[in-house]
Amino acid sequence: ACDMCDYRARTQGALQTHKRTHTGEKPYACNLCDYRATFHFQLACHKRTHSGDKPFACDMCDFRATVSCALKSHRRTHTGEKPYACDMCEYRAPRLDTLKSHKMTHTGDKPYQCDICDHRCTKRTSLNLHKRTHTGDKPYACDRC
């Protein structure tokens, strides 16, 4: 049995693997970048980002994914399913990360801070957009000009 939680394993190896969830140990390293993983399957999925392999295909459109959970999440764009409910209001979300981001509107939490000014925001993507105000980067050109 795990000495940090109630988990019980059939084998010593399975218990050792489980304990990494507590220790943060990441013994599996990518040979193409500095990514490290707790479990072998995580490294295998990560390596698809380098190879471009996307074995999971949507049967309703051309979307393809590197991992099955990304395809499952994508399918909700077709079905309209929103399984994640906010416990503070009526909001429902198709993805857990979308719900977490929404909940910050209730808490006022803005974990992403600009390293150039005091601007803070709820999403990393919003921070990346904000940073362009400092760099002057305008990556999108008008196709009519």
The answer as to whether 47 is a domain residue is yes
| Confidence bin at 72 (pLDDT 50/70/90) | very high
Residue 143, pLDDT above cutoff 90: no
| pLDDT for res 134 | 92
Report whether 112 contacts 124 (CB < 8 A): yes
- Of 144, 135, 98, nearest to 116 (Cα)? 135
How high does pLDDT run on average in the chain? 92
The answer as to whether 101 is a domain residue is no
| Confidence bin at 73 (pLDDT 50/70/90) | very high
Q: CA-to-CA distance for 11 and 117, rounded, in angstroms?
A: 52
| pLDDT for res 145 | 81
- The structure tokens 């979308």 sit at 98
Q: Identify the domain containing residue 18 by its residue range.
A: 1-81
Domain harbouring 44, CATH code: 3.30.160.60
| pLDDT for res 124 | 86
- What is the number of structural domains in the chain? 1
| pLDDT for res 136 | 84
The answer as to whether 143 is a domain residue is no
Q: What is the mean pLDDT of residues 113-135?
A: 91
Q: What is the mean pLDDT of residues 104-132?
A: 91
Q: What is the mean pLDDT of residues 105-125?
A: 91
| pLDDT for res 1 | 87
Cα dihedral 36→37→38→42 (10° resolution) = 180
CA distances from 9 to 2, 6, 12, 51, 109 (A): 8, 10, 7, 34, 38
